[in-house]
């Protein structure tokens, strides 16, 4: 066979709201709004630059079935760029954008093929010669629960065979059970490459014979998707060997950092640490908006200062002014500060005492790894299936009175209010306040 190259991407989610922009200046908010479309534009630019033979989109090109016109017009613009460069595009529809409205009334180029609800195949041509064959299938509805991998042929007949599938391979608990299948279901087929979608984290599940690969999403949609995001440039040699190269396309990148306050004595020490975090981020991830969630933990002289009313918002506002509103166009925006600091006392020993404080701290300890979650689905949401601690039902009932209030939901724009709850920080603050109020004579350790 001859050489071959293509870009494999998935989970673009055009039209998706990118979270975390509520407190940003207008210019940054606008960039977050267009981030998925800008990430897709970077994919198209990379395809043209590398002169690939095809672009393969493995599901969830759009975020929802009711796709907005703005997203459709932008899609047509980018697909026309591919068409002008004589690059074919193959699209499988996933659970977020099932069949029934991809065009949205906008005419797409003839070089774009959208797979139907039954597995079909098309050739990738170069100079009218078939150099590869692409097999794919789309979701005809949002909830496809059957194993779509079984519907692919066992003996594909192209010179290099690519299968496009939007599925939960390995039936991962943290992802919706859409078209669930096992890795062996894929490796038993005689394909050369499985172009997967649905999982938002980049992963190669099988490195050869066949290659089974998730490219991740080109643009993270919220803080639970930290780190670099992009697509994959796939280069196939004449001998059939496959090389995968990441192409980072994210316009906005989320970061999580943790800082121990134990050896700090002044707020200046703390701001200097954040300045180093900002410097490292700008060096590692230039030319984009970087959004940071900063967790402070440990114990020391800064604990009572940080836990004074208004201290954390003031610190956050000052750091945003210094680093998040830069004229050079490369801001590092402090999304929020999570306080997980503790008084300089042996809290674990206090937790074991047979008194009111010990009982209170024991309940708090039991809830420390639990976080109330809304039952509503969210893009890319990691679903934790852990057994709730005994006190969880009481906490959930108390919180539901507030967080399920329809007026609050409307005031926040229909957002997932439960996801906005900073439960771990609230629990930690309550625990720290209990220690300070009920054990005032405790000797520092």
Assign residue 195 the CATH number of its domain. Answer: 3.60.21.10
Domain co-membership, 366 together with 223: no
Domain co-membership, 211 together with 144: yes
**Domain interval for residue 322:** 253-438
Domain co-membership, 145 together with 276: no
Domain co-membership, 408 together with 288: yes
**In this structure, is residue 445 part of a structural domain?**
no
* CA pair distance 68, 64, nearest whole angstrom: 9
Report the predicted TM-score, pTM, of the whole model to 2 decimal places. 0.79
Instruction: Output the pLDDT for position 389.
Output: 75
- pLDDT category at 382 given cuts 50, 70, 90 is very low
**In this structure, is residue 377 part of a structural domain?**
yes
Compute the radius of gyration of the chain from its Cα atoms: 25
Domain co-membership, 237 together with 265: no
**pLDDT tens digits, one per residue of 112-165:** 999 999 999 999 999 999 999 999 999 998 888 899 999 999 999 999 999 999
Above 80 in pLDDT, residue 214?
yes
Domain co-membership, 232 together with 257: no
**In this structure, is residue 443 part of a structural domain?**
no
**In this structure, is residue 444 part of a structural domain?**
no
Domain co-membership, 425 together with 339: yes
**Do 278 and 323 touch, CB atoms closer than 8 A?**
yes
**In this structure, is residue 170 part of a structural domain?**
yes
Above 60 in pLDDT, residue 171?
yes
The count of structural domains within the chain is: 2
**pLDDT tens digits, one per residue of 244-262:** 999 999 999 999 999 999 9
Residues 69-80 have a mean pLDDT of 90
> Given 219, 248, 277, which residue is the final one in a domain?
248
- pLDDT category at 243 given cuts 50, 70, 90 is very high
Instruction: Output the pLDDT for position 44.
Output: 98
Residues 38-59 have a mean pLDDT of 97
**Main-chain dihedrals φ then ψ at residue 245, nearest 5 degrees:** -130, 125
Instruction: Output the pLDDT for position 421.
Output: 65
Domain co-membership, 173 together with 280: no
Residues 373-384 have a mean pLDDT of 46
- pLDDT category at 97 given cuts 50, 70, 90 is confident
DSSP line for 112-159: EEE--SS-EEEEEEETTEEEEEEEE---SSS---S-GGGGS-SS--SS
Residues 180-206 have a mean pLDDT of 96
* CA pair distance 55, 46, nearest whole angstrom: 10
Above 90 in pLDDT, residue 203?
yes
**In this structure, is residue 181 part of a structural domain?**
yes
CA triplet 429, 430, 433: central angle to 5 degrees? Answer: 85
| Residue 319 half-sphere exposure toward CB, CA atoms < 13 A | 27
- pLDDT category at 424 given cuts 50, 70, 90 is confident
* CA pair distance 77, 351, nearest whole angstrom: 61
Instruction: Output the pLDDT for position 107.
Output: 84
Residues 89-109 have a mean pLDDT of 82
The 3-state DSSP composition of the chain as helix, strand, coil percent (nearest 5) reads 30, 25, 45
Element (H, E) at 112: strand 112-114
Instruction: Output the pLDDT for position 392.
Output: 73
Domain co-membership, 325 together with 389: yes
Domain co-membership, 90 together with 225: yes
Domain co-membership, 157 together with 198: yes
Domain co-membership, 266 together with 351: yes
Above 60 in pLDDT, residue 394?
yes
> Given 221, 248, 275, which residue is the final one in a domain?
248
The two structure tokens encoding residue 94: 């996933």
Instruction: Output the pLDDT for position 428.
Output: 73
When comparing pLDDT for 83 and 1, which is higher?
83
**In this structure, is residue 357 part of a structural domain?**
yes
Instruction: Output the pLDDT for position 384.
Output: 42
Instruction: Output the pLDDT for position 332.
Output: 93
**In this structure, is residue 299 part of a structural domain?**
yes
Least confident window among 85-99, 259-273, 334-348: 334-348
> Given 204, 232, 248, which residue is the final one in a domain?
248
Above 90 in pLDDT, residue 375?
no
Averaged confidence pLDDT in the chain: 85
């Amino acid at each position: 066979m001859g050489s071959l190259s293509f870009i494999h991407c998935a989970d673009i989610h055009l039209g998706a709201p990118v979270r975390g922009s509520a407190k940003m200046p207008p210019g940054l908010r606008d960039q977050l709004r267009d981030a998925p479309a800008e990430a897709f534009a970077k994919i198209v630019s990379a395809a043209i630059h590398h002169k690939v033979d095809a672009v393969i989109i493995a599901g969830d090109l759009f975020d929802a079935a009711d796709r907005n016109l703005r997203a459709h017009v932008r899609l047509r613009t980018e697909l026309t760029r591919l068409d002008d460069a004589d690059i074919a595009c193959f699209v499988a529809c996933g659970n977020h954008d099932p069949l029934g409205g991809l065009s949205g009334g906008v005419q797409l180029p003839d070089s774009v093929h959208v797979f139907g609800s039954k597995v079909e195949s098309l050739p990738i041509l170069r100079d009218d010669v078939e150099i590869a064959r692409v097999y794919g299938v789309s979701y005809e509805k949002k909830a496809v629960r059957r194993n779509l991998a079984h519907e692919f042929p066992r003996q594909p007949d192209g010179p290099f065979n690519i299968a496009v599938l939007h599925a939960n391979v390995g039936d991962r608990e943290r992802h919706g059970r859409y078209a669930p299948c096992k890795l062996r279901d894929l490796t038993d087929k005689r394909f050369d490459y499985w172009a997967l979608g649905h999982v938002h984290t980049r992963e190669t599940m099988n490195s050869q014979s066949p290659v089974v690969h998730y490219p991740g999403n080109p643009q993270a949609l919220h803080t639970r998707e930290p780190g670099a995001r992009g697509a994959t440039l796939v280069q196939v040699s004449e001998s059939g060997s496959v090389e995968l190269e990441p192409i980072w396309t994210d316009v906005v990148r989320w970061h999580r950092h943790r800082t121990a306050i134990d050896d700090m004595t002044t707020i200046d020490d703390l701001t200097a640490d954040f300045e180093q975090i900002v410097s490292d981020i700008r060096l590692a991830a230039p030319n984009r908006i970087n959004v940071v969630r900063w967790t402070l933990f440990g114990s020391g002289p800064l604990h009572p200062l940080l836990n004074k009313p208004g201290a954390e918002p003031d610190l956050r506002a000052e750091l945003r002014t210094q680093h998040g509103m830069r004229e050079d166009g490369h801001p590092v925006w402090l999304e929020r500060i999570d306080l997980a600091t503790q008084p300089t006392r042996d809290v674990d020993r206090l937790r074991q005492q047979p008194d009111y404080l010990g009982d209170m701290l024991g309940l708090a300890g039991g809830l420390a790894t639990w976080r109330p979650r809304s039952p509503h689905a969210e893009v890319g949401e990691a679903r934790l299936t852990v057994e709730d601690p005994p006190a969880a039902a009481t906490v959930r009932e108390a919180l539901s009175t507030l967080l399920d209030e329809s007026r609050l939901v409307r005031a926040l724009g229909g957002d997932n209010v439960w996801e906005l709850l900073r439960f771990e920080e609230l629990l930690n603050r309550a625990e720290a306040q209990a220690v300070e109020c009920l054990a005032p004579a405790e000797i520092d350790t």
